Structure 1
Amino acid sequence: MADKKKLSFTTREALFYHETIRPGKIEIIASKPMATQRDLSLAYSPGVAAPVEAIAEDPQLAAKYTARSNLVAVISNGTAILGLGNLGALASKPVMEGKAVLFKRFADVDSIDIELATEDPDAFIEAVALMEPSFGGINLEDIKAPECFIIEQALRERMNIPVMHDDQHGTAIISAAGLINACHLTGRELKDCKMVVNGAGASALACTSLAKSMGIRHENVIVCDRSGPIYPGRDNVDQWKSAHAVETDARSLEEALEGADIFLGLSAAGALKPEWVKKMADKPIIFAMANPTPEIMPDEAKAVRPDAIIATGRSDFPNQVNNVLGFPFIFRGALDVQATTINEEMKIAAARAIAELARETVPEEVAAAYGETHAFGEDYIIPAPFDPRLMEVVSSAVAKAAMDSGVALAPIEDFDAYRHSLKARLNPTTSVLTQVYETAKANPKRVVFAEAEEDVVLRAAIQFRDFGYGTPVLVGRTEKVKAKLAELAVDDIDSFEIQNSKTSELVPAMNDFLYERLKRRGFTERDVGRMVNQERNVFAALLVALGHGDAMISGLTRTFAQTAREVNLVLDPKPDEIPFGIHLMIGKNYTVFLADTTINERP
C-alpha cells in the first residue's frame, strides 16, 4: 500500500468543498412533520407544553421527548488545532464541524459544534458545565496540554453525562487495539512487553495510561519527552509526566530503545532513527503516529527491520491509527444506555472489540471501499474505518461495559435486539455507489469526457484518474483545457490525453466513418466535417466508435435530448439490445432505480 498514489487536493479545492451548496458541513433538519398548522401547534405552542411538564416532573423523560439522548457537543477553544497549533476558537470551527459530521456519518449521532473563545480553564469548565441540560455527551477537541487534563477531569467530576477528550482517549483506544493484535501476531503478552513512548503530550500520556490499564507493567514503560526519558527526580517534569516516571539508566531515546519490544511515538517527524530501530527486540512493534509525517517512515523501518509491524497516523500506509474507529461508536454505546461517564472499563471494551474485529474475516464492503482485499496480518492489525460492523461490535461492547461497571442509567434488556437496531441505524444504501465505483476500478476503462473545458467535468476527470477508475480522455481546446488543469493545481498536465477536434489526427478517419454512416440520410461531406469539427458530442462519440474510448460522459451543458440525438448520429445499440436511461434515487432507508426515464416511452 505504501506505493499507492496518495489522495491529494489543493487549498483551493478544500475551500471550494467547504463553500459550495451551503457554507460549512452541517445543518439542522426537522425530524417531525411541519406541513400543517396542526404540526406547528404540536411542535411549538401549545403542544410543546406537554413534554415540558413531563420533563419537569421526571427529568429522565428528556431522553424520550427530546433529541438530548442522541446529541453530542463537540467543544474546543482552538488552542491545539490538528497540526496547526493555537489559532483560536473561530478558526477551529471547520474542524469541529468535521467532527460533528463524522459522528453522524459513522454512528448516526447528532452533533453540534461549540467554539469557546477563552483560554482560561475555569471559564471553559464553567461554560461547558452549564450546558449539561442540552446534551447527552461532550466531546472535547483540540485543547492544548496541560489545560486539557484539568478541563476534562473537572468536567468528568462535575457533569453526569459522558465527557471525553478524543485527542487523548480516541488515539489511546485505537492504538491499544493495534497493540493487542501486534502482540498476538508476534507471540507476545502485553504484560511482558518493554515499551518506549516518545512524546509526553495529552495523546501520548493517555496511550500510556490505557496500555497500563490493559496489563503492561508500569516499570516496563519508559516515557520520553524532548529532554529524554522521564525518571524520578528529573527536572522540568510536571505532575502528569511524573506519574509515568520509572527508574532507568537510559538518558536518551536511543538508549531507552535498547531491547524494546514496542515503540509508541506521538512526537515529531524523524524522531526515530533507522539505526536505533536495529537495537530493538525481535519482531519490533513500531507505532509512529506523528502527523502528518511519522517519527519514521514505514519503508525506512522495514529496510532495517523487515520483521517489524508498523502503524502510523497516515491513510496511505497500512495500519492507520484513525480515531474515527473509536469516538463515534464509543459515544453511540454510551448514549444508548444513558451512561453517566466514559470510564476505563468502557475504553478497554472498545479497544478489545476493535482488535477482535480486525481478526475476523473482512467483509466485501471493506474491499469495495478500498479496492483491495484485506486480511488479518502484519499489514492489517486495525480495521478499516468503513467496516460496517464497527457500529454494531464496538457500540454494543461499550454499552455492555457501561452496564457491567454500573454507570448506565438505562440498561439494555434485549442485547440481540439492540445489536440489530445498530445495524439498521446506518443507511445500507451508502454502499451502493461505492460498489459501483469499485466495480469500475476492478476493470478500468478509457472514458471520454466530452465537456472537459467545464470545471466540474474536469474535476470529475481528475478524480476518475486519481482514484484508479480508468483513463480519462479530455475533449476540448488544448490550451484552454491545460489552463484549466493548471488552475486546479494539477502538476502533471501533460500526462492527460486531450483530444481537440480542430487538430486531432483522427479527424480524417472520423469524417470518413461518419459520412459513410450518414450519406444516405441526407448529410453531405461538408455537413459531416462541420459536425466533427464543431459538435463536441459527435466528436466524443466518434472516439468511442473508432475504439479510442470505451464510454463517454456528457450532458452538462446541453439538454439530455440534444445530447442523445448527437450521440445517436454516431453510435447504435448492440443488436437485439434496447438502449435505456436510468435514474438512481437514494433515500434514507431505500434505494430506487427508475427506468426508463429518458429514452423509451414504453420500455
Structure 2
Amino acid sequence: MKLHYERKGKIEMVSRVKVDSREALSLAYTPGVAQPCLEIKKDLNKSYELTRRWNTVAVVTDGTAVLGLGDIGPEAGMPVMEGKCVLFKEFGGVDAIPLCIRSKSVEEIINTVRLLAGSFGGVNLEDIAAPRCFEIEQQLKKCCDIPIFHDDQHGTAVIVLAGIINALKVTGKEKKNCNVVVNGAGSAGIAITKLMLAYGFEKITMCDMNGMITENSPDLNWMQKKMTEVTNLEHRQGTLADAMKNADVFIGVSAPGIVTEEMVASMSSDAILFAMANPVPEIMPDLARRAGARVIGTGRSDYPNQINNVLCFPGIFRGALDVRASDINDEMKLAAALAIADLISDEELNENRILPVPFDVRVSNVVSKAVAEAARKSGAARI
C-alpha cells in the first residue's frame, strides 16, 4: 500500500523526442507530422515503421478474474494490469498499456478491442473469467490481424510444459507413456492440456470439483465438453483420488489443500507434481515430498521450481513483435517452452532445479529468438 500511495501508479509515458525548440516542435507535431500520416494512409503497414505501434501491447481486462480476488471490476484490476505492463517493459522491453473495460459483455469486449487494434502490435488478455475468455480470444483472433494472447491460458501452459519437459529428464519418464492428471478445468487447465497434447502427451485426464471429466459430466461449459473429445479416452469415472492412482504427473490449477499425502503416495514412483494454486497450493511441497513425489513445483517464490509466467510472456511478445507476427500459434508456444527448458544444462538439472529463475537475464532473449524463428517457419511472421 505504501508503494502504491507513494508512486500513484507504476507506469508512465515517456517522450522519445525533445520538443525544446520551434524546429523540434514542427518536426514532432504540425506541420512535420503530416507527412508520416499521409504515408500511413497509403500503406497501413507503415504504422509499424513510423509510430511506436510496432512495440506496443494492450493489456486488456474486464476485471472478472483478477488474481485470486475474483470479480472485483475493471478499476480494481488496474494495479494488476499496471504491474503486468511493468513486467512487459522490464523483462521484454515491450511498451504495454492497461485497458480496463467496463463491460462483461463478450460482444462489447470483442468490439472494443477490434476497434482499437490498429493502435497496437499485439493484445494480451488478462484476468477475464472462463468460459467467456475462450470465446473472446477465439473471435478476436478471427477479426484482428495482430497477435491475441490470453496469458492466463497460454503463458501458464508454456511455463508448465517447460517445467514438465525437464522433470521428465530428471525422472527418466517418456511423455508417450505418462499418465497425466490435470486438476482444474478453467482457462489455465484447458490451455495446459491442449499444449501438452500438442507436444505429444497422449494420456491426459482432466478433473474438476466433481472428479474425472467425461462427456456425461454435469455442468460442463462448451469448451470443457470439447476437451472430453481428446482427454480421458478410457472414459474413466471417479474422484480426483481415483484419477491420481498410478498417475505419473499431477498438474493442479485448482484449490488449496485438496490433495492429500495418501493421494500422492498412490501415484507411480518418481511422480511429478505441480501444485499451483496460489497462495496455498493443492498440497504443500514438504508433504508431497514426504509422500513420495520426486519433482515438485508450485506457484510460490519461497519454494524451488516456481512456475511463473514472467519467464515466458515478455519473451513471447518480444519475438512476435520483432517479426510482426499475425498470431501466436502452437508452434511459437512450443518453441518458447523448449527454449526455457533448454536454459537448464544437464549439469544444473535436478529435482529442485528444473526452471530458470525469473531474474535470469538470458530468458527473454532466448525465448524471443525461438519464438521469432518459429513464427517464420510456421508462416505467422510478416517481416
**Structure 1 position 139, deviation (Å):** 0.3
**Structure 1 position 303, deviation (Å):** 1.1
CA distance in 1, matches of 2:378, 2:314: 20
CA distance in 1, matches of 2:22, 2:15: 15
Opposite residue 294 of structure 2, the aligned amino acid is A
CA distance in 2, matches of 1:202, 1:391: 24
Partner of 1:226: 209
CA distance in 2, matches of 1:360, 1:38: 58
Cα distance 1:360–1:391, how it changes in 2: closer, same or farther (>3 A)? farther
2:171 is the counterpart of 1:171: no
CA distance in 1, matches of 2:218, 2:366: 45
- Which of the numbers 393, 396, 421 marks the counterpart of 2:366? 393
Structure 2, unpaired ranges of 5+: none
Partner of 1:160: 145
Structure 1, unpaired ranges of 5+: 1-14, 362-374, 411-603
Partner of 1:351: 337
CA distance in 2, matches of 1:391, 1:313: 20
**Structure 1 position 102, deviation (Å):** 0.5
2:34 is the counterpart of 1:49: yes
Partner of 1:378: 351
CA distance in 2, matches of 1:227, 1:63: 49
2:13 is the counterpart of 1:28: yes
2:212 is the counterpart of 1:239: no
Partner of 1:267: 254
CA distance in 1, matches of 2:253, 2:245: 19
Secondary structure of 2:333's counterpart equals helix
Opposite residue 110 of structure 1, the aligned amino acid is D
Alignment deviations for residues 279-338 of structure 1 (CA, whole Å, 9 cap, x no partner) = 100100000000110000000111121x51000000000000100001100000000000
2:74 is the counterpart of 1:89: yes
Residue pairs, 1:509-588, within 5 angstroms:
none
Alignment check: 8 A CA contact 2:212 2:236 kept = no
Alignment check: 8 A CA contact 1:309 1:378 kept = yes
> Percent identity of the aligned residues?
48
**Structure 1 position 376, deviation (Å):** 2.1
Larger-gyration structure (1/2): 1
Alignment deviations for residues 64-102 of structure 1 (CA, whole Å, 9 cap, x no partner) = 110000000001010000000001011000000000010
**Structure 1 position 142, deviation (Å):** 0.4
CA distance in 2, matches of 1:69, 1:83: 32
CA distance in 2, matches of 1:328, 1:19: 27
CA distance in 1, matches of 2:328, 2:346: 26
RMSD of Structure 2 on Structure 1 (CA): 1.1
Partner of 2:169: 184
CA distance in 2, matches of 1:213, 1:176: 11
CA distance in 1, matches of 2:28, 2:79: 31
CA distance in 2, matches of 1:30, 1:54: 22
- Which of the numbers 180, 196, 214 marks the counterpart of 1:211? 196
CA distance in 1, matches of 2:66, 2:222: 24
Secondary structure of 1:359's counterpart equals coil
Alignment deviations for residues 162-192 of structure 1 (CA, whole Å, 9 cap, x no partner) = 0100001010000000000001111112122
Partner of 1:73: 58
Alignment deviations for residues 339-395 of structure 1 (CA, whole Å, 9 cap, x no partner) = 00100100000001000012367xxxxxxxxxxxxx321101011111111122100
Opposite residue 290 of structure 2, the aligned amino acid is A
Alignment check: 8 A CA contact 1:77 1:115 kept = yes
Alignment check: 8 A CA contact 2:53 2:121 kept = yes
Partner of 2:300: 314
Kindly indicate whether structure 1 or structure 2 has the higher relative contact order, using CA contacts under 8 Å at least 6 residues apart.
2
After the TM superposition, list the runs of 4 or more consecutive aligned residues in structure 1 that deviate by more than 6 angstroms.
none
Aligned pair count reads 379
- Calculate the TM-score normalised by the size of structure 2: 0.97
2:23 is the counterpart of 1:38: yes
Partner of 1:256: 243
Alignment deviations for residues 91-114 of structure 1 (CA, whole Å, 9 cap, x no partner) = 000000000010000011011101
Alignment check: 8 A CA contact 2:170 2:349 kept = no
Alignment check: 8 A CA contact 1:359 1:381 kept = no
Secondary structure of 2:227's counterpart equals coil
Secondary structure of 1:308's counterpart equals strand
**Structure 1 position 271, deviation (Å):** 1.2
- Calculate the TM-score normalised by the size of structure 1: 0.62
Alignment deviations for residues 411-430 of structure 1 (CA, whole Å, 9 cap, x no partner) = xxxxxxxxxxxxxxxxxxxx
Alignment check: 8 A CA contact 1:230 1:244 kept = no
Alignment check: 8 A CA contact 2:214 2:237 kept = no
CA distance in 1, matches of 2:94, 2:191: 24
2:375 is the counterpart of 1:407: no
2:102 is the counterpart of 1:129: no
2:278 is the counterpart of 1:278: no
